[in-house]
Amino acid sequence: MRVTKLITFIIQFSTIGLAAAFLILYFQSSNNDNLSTSSQSNAEIVELIETTRTSTSIPHKSYAPAVKQAAPAVVNIQTTKTITERQHPLANDPLFQQFFGDSIGEPRKRMESSLGSGVIASPQGYILTNHHVIKAADEILVALKDGRSAKARVVGTDPDTDLAVLKIDLENIPAITLSRTDELEVGNIVLAIGNPFGVGQTVTSGIISATGRNMLGINTFENFIQTDAAINPGNSGGALINSFGELIGINTAIYSQSGGSQGIGFAIPLSLAKNVLTQIIEFGHVKRGWLGIAIQDINPELAESFAMKKIYGILVNGVAKKGPADKAGIKPGNVITHINDNEVANTQHLLNLVSQVNPGKTISVKGINQKGRFSTEATVIQRPQQEK
């Protein structure tokens, strides 16, 4: 009897033990499976984040797509003009004529060619370039990247910004894409496309080194983009594009002691070039207000002599007779401090403020003269075009 109970107890204990062991193994296996699944999910998330970081930190492996988009719209410009050489200074001397005859005094003419670049700004064939590229040209030939060429006519020029607009008549003209934003930041990658030294279309890269460069003495109205992308003779009038192939400026000038690129190049920003382009197409010239004054910046000595607490405004050096300033009673020696309640910072600032006013509009002018503060009104007129 006792043996039977003992056997029954052993069997029950063994059964309970096996059941417990099975349950422990089952739950341990489930936990391992869950842990494995969780680890795999975490690995996928980390990989996704790393891929995202890589793709955003290196936006471009190559700028070939940008160049492929913009390059067809950048053209080579060849100009030809007739140069008349002055006669010899002794040509009118009777003794000189006795030996060499009258033919020595006849002026000689020769043909001179030069090369530059341009940017096709619209499918209608309007081309932006520099004024100095086509100045005094008798004939202008435009060569496209696809091998076609055409004679161009001058629609209009603006020497004050060193811009000119040309027109060609061809079918299926490739036009560049204009940047939709004026937000240019120092450090942005840029590419310069042009025809340096006449070797053919060339692309160079760099960054925006500075914006808003002025007071350089290059143009009357200056607001340059500075870049270290190589710009050389022949690049003038070519395109400065961003990394998406959009036009942001027209290459214009370089600072160089050797004549070649030294990492300081200047481009006219698209905002200014676009305004000149649209006005020339519409009116044939650029409409700008003009006061008819010669001006200079205020220095500390001048500010002290006028009892000015800070240095601002401009000094009037000269006044055009019967011009807007003359009619408004502004005299040489006056200091202009405000235009339409805008405080004038310097000469460039005043030029910009007045030029933005449409001819025929009246502006308020405030300043200082020998009697103290003065206020007057002047009706601006069309700014005379300066030939350069």
How far is it, in rounded angstroms, from Cα 165 to Cα 118? 9
Which of 194, 218, 215, 213 shows the shortest CA–CA distance to 131? 218
Residue 285 a catalytic site member = no
Number of alpha carbons in the 13 Å side-chain half-sphere of residue 284: 1
Active-site option among 114, 158, 160, 162: 162
Residue 349 a catalytic site member = no
The sign of the dihedral angle between the CA atoms of 244, 250, 255, 258 is positive
Active-site option among 132, 158, 160, 261: 132
Indicate the burial class of 89 (C-beta count within 10 angstroms; 0-12, 13-18, 19 or more). exposed
Beta strand pairing call for 224-227 and 189-194: unpaired
How far is it, in rounded angstroms, from Cα 175 to Cα 164? 17
Residue 132 a catalytic site member = yes
Active-site option among 179, 236, 261, 355: 236
How far is it, in rounded angstroms, from Cα 270 to Cα 225? 10
How far is it, in rounded angstroms, from Cα 26 to Cα 341? 85
Q: Which residues are catalytic?
A: 132, 162, 236
